[in-house]
A and B are shown apart, each in its own frame.
Chain A
Amino acid sequence: MRVGVLCSTKWGTLDMVAQLTTGERQLAIVVLSLVALLGLAMAAAGRADPIGVHGFIVLAICCGLIFVVLGAYYAPEPSPERLEHYYDDPSKVGIVLTMAWAVVGMFLGVWVASLLAWPDLTFDAAWASFGRLRPAHTSAVIFGFGGNALIATSFHVLQRTSRARLPDQFSPWFVLIGYNLFCVVAATGYFMGVTQSKEYAEPEWYADIWLVVVWVTYFAIYIRTLARRKEPHIYVANWYYMAFILVVAILHIVNNLAVPVSFGHAKSYSVFSGVQDAMVQWWYGHNAVAFFLTAGFLGMMYYYLPKRAGRPIYSYRLSIISFWGITFMYMWAGSHHLLYTALPQWVQTLGMTFSLILLVPSWASAGNALATLNGAWHKVRDDATLRFMMAAAVFYGLTTFEGSFLAIRPVNSLSHYTDWTVGHVHAGALGWVALITFGSIYCIVPWLWKRERMYSARLVEVHFWLAIIGTVIYVFAMWNSGIIQGLMWRTYNENGTLTYSFVESMVAMHPYYIARAFGGLLFLMGAIVGSYNIWMTIRGEAEVAPESADLPEPRLASAPGE
């Protein structure tokens, strides 16, 4: 049959390269060569410095990719008929990368969790110390797993909701591969001890500059596709995805303003200092939660949940109100990370107040999702994929309530610096982000690869229960641990001195740390089961796709909506 269908029936790298036009293949080789040269320059300038090692890594990856492109360089030009289909190859690779990062990142998570229970698991190796493994875990799950899921699904949702094909076939690949290059440089850097010491913004200046280039391209793809849309109204999911891309760009640029020691040196110094640096960092940090881990995934929810349930979103108006509420309020909430610090009192109060008001748009979104399912509960019961999304909405509601609660100053005096924060983050990351992602992936995989269904519905069910039980064990362990910690640290005896030493509080944590590692292990096992199921679905036989289905608006002229 035709090339477009061939690609969906036989999944191979060479087929994907053959989908590129000769011009796009040439552009790919030119860009890869330039980035490879950049890697060579980093290797030469850095020498023994970690930036030199990163130079070699960049060089090796780019050379490998050049060979991939050359492998199909002389393949025939793709048929013009491809323009009558959506361009999903980058989404497909993005989904596979999402699951690969999930397994790597969650494995690292189980390792760091175990390290807290059994400190010998660091094996006396510098690279395996807690301070290096921990950012490798957070970056792998947030940026590797979450980021790839967002990129892959955003390309899919964007095309369907605007009825337009992606504007070209090269830039999506640049975004996907460039982004993963950033993730690899970040993770390998941590193992070598490279870090800016800013939470969730650990990568050093050269990785940060590279991410800006990738991110601007990503935003441009969005704008260029929307400019060619057929539907005059931009569906709400796209607003969330665009807020995610735009705000993350702003946050990333401002928080990473730094001066490197030299061009051949990995280390840099932030342009901010003292409490300003802390405020900028947590303005970034909390909005990373808001726009990376919330807005983007709400975009996912507002598309895949109604699609899977076969019902329109309960209230479209409410989704718009929550969008502007979330977008506006979150910007001011970051200072709740700095309660009881040198930050001016009124800024702390501002952060606390906005964190409380934030509950309104957050619950509006969670409620909107659950109200959408009202009348389709039989589907939730029978279909684990939809149940993933329903549970995600529930966890989203619970976590945002907990977040507002923890931002209240006196509550924070008990919870801050304890495991309660860790539990809160994981209720959000596992319960909301990961569950909505897995639900969306189980929707999208059969659609993209033109399969009738997933390889095994039973394995989706197994994954669902492993994920739920793992999350619940994790969160309960950290609630117990965190509150005990907080209470032990503030208990005074009759002499007015602390009753418990810090070490005593650590001994009290031990059983909870074992429980947490076990909960994480269950969650990791679920991700492995899911990866296997997805892989078997991809390898299975395609159904015969009806010719007319799943087509973009055929015109190519750049006419905006109406």
Chain B
Amino acid sequence: MNFDHDTVVGFTKSWGLFYLIAMAVGVLIYVFWPSNLERFHAAKKNILDEDDKPWK
């Protein structure tokens, strides 16, 4: 492959864009996947456990 300026720019403008979109979509799917909701809910509550004992 010819590693010149135009090639790098072309790669950045095409694959760079797809990479950004794919990643955004991937993150949104993970965040809104219904079965993950419970896990997120537990995660945000668990740090508040006042007595901070070992998990049984």
Contacts and interface: CB of A to CB of B under 8 A. Distances in A.
A320 B55 contact: no
A381 interface: no
Contact of A160 (B23, B30, B31, B52): B52
The secondary-structure label for the interface of chain B is helix
B47 A554 contact: no
Contacts of A311: 48
A163 interface: yes
B47 A306 contact: yes
Contacts of B46: 231, 235
Given A306-B44, A312-B44, A328-B20, A549 B54 contact: no
Interface string A544-555: 000011111110
Nearest to A357: B20
A316 interface: yes
A316 B53 contact: no
Contact of A316 (B5, B44, B54): B44
Nearest to B12: A350
A310 B54 CA distance: 20
Contacts, number: 67
Given A321-B27, A324-B23, A324-B27, A548 B51 contact: yes
A230 B44 contact: no
Nearest to A346: B9
A326 to B, nearest CB: 12
A513 to B, nearest CB: 42
A306 B54 contact: no
Contact of B54 (A324, A346, A554): A554
A161 interface: yes
A307 interface: yes
Contacts of A324: 23-24, 27
Interface string B27-56: 110111000000111111111100111110
Interface string B1-23: 00001000100100000001001
B43 A549 contact: no
A440 to B, nearest CB: 14
Given A233-B39, A321-B27, A310 B47 contact: no
A233 B47 contact: no
A317 interface: yes
A552 B54 contact: yes
13 contacts: A231-B55, A235-B46, A235-B47, A306-B48, A307-B48, A312-B47, A316-B40, A320-B31, A324-B24, A324-B27, A344-B5, A548-B53, A550-B52
What are the 5 closest A-B residue pairs judged by CB atoms, nearest first? A312-B44, A316-B40, A324-B27, A316-B44, A230-B55
